[in-house]
Amino acid sequence: MKNILLIATGGTIASKPTDVGLVPSITSEEIIEFVPQIEKLCKISTIQLMNIDSSNMSPERWIKIANCIRENYEKYDGFVITHGTDTLAYTGSALSYLIQNSAKPIVLTGSQKSIYLQDTDARKNLYDSFIFVCDEKSSGVHIVFDSKVIVGTRARKTRTHSYNAFDSIDYPIVAMIFNEKVIYYINEEIDKPVKFYDELNSNVNIIKLIPGISNKVFEFVGEISDVIVVEGFGVGGLPTYDDEKSLFKTIQKLTQQGKIIVFTTSVPHEGSNIEVYQVGNEIKGSINLLENFNMTLESTVCKLMWITAKTKVFSEVEKMFYESISHDIVY
């Protein structure tokens, strides 16, 4: 039997009701006790790494999770991380950059209702995660939720209450868990040694464009950021109001100061292409900026945190950003 480490971080799956709402309080050992059939699949050890609402997840805590896996990597055949759903896609992306080329499976899961409840998706999600992590063909960082196996860099929470809360954005799901078996749609092979990283730059921020947005927003965010991700309209672009081009001039000034500007889209599917319209074509042709194309917002943010912890030189950031890691960008 395989040796699997459960790393508990809190979230809805580990929550109990209190006078102030749901609070993560169920321990890693208690979580396993709710699904006793898991013990027939593998030998299980548990670590209570943290017990937080996932709204409180942070880059420092992503590094803590990655370091926990690194310290235990040789001892176990795979890892299951229980996590809140609200930032689960961010953590899946972050771990995909902090732990690359892992031949051992690293699975994240959670639930829309606490494992403490009778009517919950938690037990099935946890059991499915162990089925996948014990499979001989599983490897790398994935999210298992509602029987779907999703690449860590392609997941997004798309529903706030339903059990089918996560989708794979513009990339096929890797597998389904059906009748306690893993049905693969994509075979993934790891042919490089695992690499661990332990640095992230948290000075990455997002500006979401709204009609009439002021350039002062960019000026303020630029002061506190190394990287600004601009979430635009449609395929992307930068509006001009009254032909003043104030946004254009502000972004140009920020890039001259060494800030990294990355354009994305607020549209959930099919990505950006800012060269299509004049409002985007002009800025891309005259300012050093990046475009995330079909990457998710979550993977874009986490990848930039990983890259700019190493370098903030635009040409080097550009090269690393467009290198595909764990299917985060598809050409």
pTM of the model: 0.94
- Per-residue pLDDT, averaged over 114-141, amounts to 96
Upper half-sphere CA count for residue 229 (Cβ side, 13 Å): 24
Kindly indicate the confidence band of residue 41, based on its pLDDT and cuts at 50, 70 and 90. Answer: very high
Catalytic residue, candidates 12, 82, 87, 265: 12
pLDDT in tens, 233-287: 877 777 777 666 788 889 989 999 999 999 998 888 887 776 654 555 667 777 8
Per-residue pLDDT averaged across 223-232, rounded? 94
DSSP 66: H
Cα 278 to chain centroid distance, Å, stands at 32
**How many C-beta neighbours within 10 Å does residue 286 have?**
10
DSSP string, 276-319: SSHHHHHHHHHS--EE-TT--HHHHHHHHHHHHTT---HHHHHH
Give the separation between CA 9 and CA 7, rounded to whole angstroms: 7
54 is in an annotated binding site: yes
Is 109 noted as a catalytic residue in this protein? no
- Among residues 9, 82, 85, 153, the one annotated as catalytic is 85
Query: What does the alpha-carbon distance between residue 230 and residue 240 come to, in Å, rounded to a whole number?
Result: 15
Fold classification of 2-196 (topology level): Rossmann fold (3.40.50)
CATH code 3.40.50.1170 region(s) in the chain? 2-196
CATH 3.40.50.40 fits 204-321, yes or no: yes
Tell me whether residue 86 is annotated as binding.
yes
Task: For residue 240, indicate whether it is catalytic.
Answer: no
Instruction: Report the percent of the chain where pLDDT is more than 70.
Output: 95
21-24 vs 166-168, strand pairing mode: unpaired
Beta strands 260-265; 2-10: pairing state: unpaired
Domain with CATH 3.40.50.40 in the chain: 204-321
- What torsion, rounded to 10 degrees, do the Cα atoms 235, 237, 241, 247 define? 150
pLDDT reported for residue 82: 98
